[in-house]
Each structure stands twice: as C-alpha cells, then as structure tokens.
Amino acid sequence: MFAAIAPGNALAQSYPAKPIRFIVGPGPDALARVIGQQITQAWGQPVIIDQRGGGGGTISAEAVARAAPDGYTLLLVAPANAINASLYDRLNYNFMRDIEPVAGLIRFPNVVVVNPSLPFKTIPELIAYAKANPGKINMASSSSGTSTHLSGELFKSLAGVDILHVPYRGSSQALIDVIGGQVTMLFDNAPSSLPFVQQGKLRALAVTSTRRLPNLPDIPTLEETGVSGYESLSWSGIVAPAGTPRAVIAKLNAAIERILKTEDVRRRFADMGVEPVGGTPEDFATHIRAESDKWGKLIRSANITVS
C-alpha cells in the first residue's frame, strides 16, 4: 500500500449505499463499462462512468487524489499514471502517496504495425533499413510519454536504431495516419489495432509481450525477432483515494476478483485481446512501483520530455 488506511468496518458493511463514480482518464473506457456493469449487477448500485481525458492522465488522477476517501470515487489507471511523475516537473498530487491500489484488471501487449504497402515484412528487415537510413523511418505515438511512445523508445534503445518520433494528440489519429501511409509505424495497443490487422489495413510485425498473442498466433514477439530483453505491456487497474478504509478496499478487491473470474467477462476480454490480472491490492501496488521505476529510467536516459 502507498499510504496507511484508516479502519472503516462500519462503512464497509453498508458499502455501497449510493452510486459509485468511476473516473476514466487514459484507460480504455470499454473496460470501465464492462467492470461498471458487473459491479452494478452484483451490488445493485449504479456505476457512473466519468470521462476525464487530457493532460496525459494527470487530470483524472488529480480528481481522484482530491476526492473523499470513502470508496465512492474510483479511478481506472493505465501506464501513464505510473509514468507521469518522471515526465512532469510539477504535479498537483503525488500519485504514489495520494492513491490506494485496489486491484489490477487487465494487461495486453502493444503491436508493432506498419502500412501494408511498405516493404518491411519482418522486424529484422525494418531494423536493417533503419540502420542503413538513420532518421528516415518515423514512428507515431498517441502522445509523448505514453506507452505507445515508450514502447517505441525501448525498441530504439535495444535495437540500436535511429527512428523519428511523431507524437499525436490521441491514438485515433495516429492509427489513421499509419493506415493512410503518412507515418511509417506505430506501437499500438493490441485491442485497437487488432481489427485493422485482421482486415488487412495494417501489417503486424511483432508483439511487445514475451508470449505471442492468441488473436495473432503467427506474429512473433520482439524477443523472437532478435530484440533481446524486450518486454512492454500495457495494463489497467483500479485505485481509490488515499485514506479509503481498508475494509472498503478489501470489499472492492473481492468483488473485482469475482468479476474477473466470470466466464462472460473472460470471453469478452479474450475478444478484446486482453488478459485478466486480478490479485491483491499489495500485488497491484508492487506492479505500479515496478512500472514507475522501469519507465522512469528510460525517460531519464533518453531525455524524454513533454511540452
């Protein structure tokens, strides 16, 4: 845990007694809807999905950090939330101090995609071209400092290639421009790229996990293509404001564990190309810290900044 949790057994016994607000920043809103629907069915209280995009996840995180610690305001978190402390010089909150992990939800790889008209059919071919033509390959991302950007920076570092980063304001336009051929490549979240790969509008060269994606069994991992030591997973989970009673956190965690084990949810996740995670609040806290450390080192070594 990131902060001490005050006892609140009495509150937990009656919880939830009113609607729960589920704030969504950089995480996938489709995931929030799935989890929110399941919580509503289990507890009979509405879950209100509150979109708070912008600021690379800082706006939504600050809203939850400042919310009452009663379990009625939750945040869907993503890698950006663990990364932002290394990107921004000044934040109005301290993520590690001001939130309480509840549970991990899902993890999924990014997919290295290019326009099918390009000559690269494998990662070794792309690397060979990049080394012979430094700076001539460009790489889109949803924004500077996001998982789609840092996945690419890790690839550049391990493969020893010079690739120009082209940041966008959101993943949709980045994806459109790769499909249209305006940008060479993108390390895109698997759930958003999968339909376009399956339709032949994008060519997948590799996945960023250490295991192949069941939805793309013929696409190798970057490790398999010769990029030794590569792994980059996107993920989502739930956190609450620091100070939320331990008993409420435990009740939420138990509910999430049950939801993630239901056949319907596991099938829907499989269709989305994501894997359920689960685990204890302590497990999720450890994961967030590890992600913060891993990407913080890369951000500092590559001198990555945001404007």
CB 76 within 8 A of CB 236: yes
Q: Cα separations (Å) of 229 from 34, 205, 304?
A: 34, 17, 21
CB 190 within 8 A of CB 273: yes
pTM of the model: 0.88
pLDDT attached to residue 91: 92
Percent share of the chain, pLDDT over 90? 80
CB 148 within 8 A of CB 246: no
SS3 71: coil
Task: Give kind and range of the element (H or E) at residue 244.
Answer: none
Q: Tell me which residue of 93, 101, 75 sits closest to 286, measured CA to CA.
A: 101
Distance of alpha carbon 144 from alpha carbon 141, whole angstroms:
7
Helices 29-43 and 246-260 meet at what angle, rounded to 10?
A: 100
pLDDT attached to residue 3: 52
165 in the same domain as 25: no
129 in the same domain as 81: no
Domain containing residue 161: CATH number: 3.40.190.10
Spatial neighbors of 210 by CB under 8 A, at least 6 apart, are: 221, 223, 231
Residue 221: phi and psi, rounded to 5, are -80, 160
Distance of alpha carbon 131 from alpha carbon 270, whole angstroms:
37
Helices 147-159 and 281-301 meet at what angle, rounded to 10?
A: 60
pLDDT in tens, 185-242: 999 999 899 999 999 999 999 999 999 999 899 999 999 999 999 999 999 999 999 9
201 in the same domain as 134: yes
Is residue 228 one of the residues assigned to a domain? no
Is residue 222 one of the residues assigned to a domain? no
Is residue 215 one of the residues assigned to a domain? no
Is residue 306 one of the residues assigned to a domain? no
Is residue 52 one of the residues assigned to a domain? yes
SS3 253: helix
Instruction: For residue 154, give its domain range.
Output: 108-207
pLDDT in tens, 281-305: 999 999 999 999 999 999 999 888 8
Question: Which amino acid, residue 232?
Answer: S
Average pLDDT, stretch 46-65? 91
Number of folded domains in the chain? Answer: 2
pLDDT in tens, 145-184: 888 999 999 999 999 999 999 999 888 899 999 999 999 9
Q: Which of 190, 207, 224 is the last residue of a domain?
A: 207
Q: Does 5 score more than 70 pLDDT?
A: no
100 in the same domain as 240: yes
66 in the same domain as 143: no
114 in the same domain as 94: no
Average pLDDT, stretch 13-38? 91
Domain containing residue 253: CATH number: 3.40.190.150
Number of residues written out for the chain: 307
For the record, the structure tokens of 132 come out as 């012979």
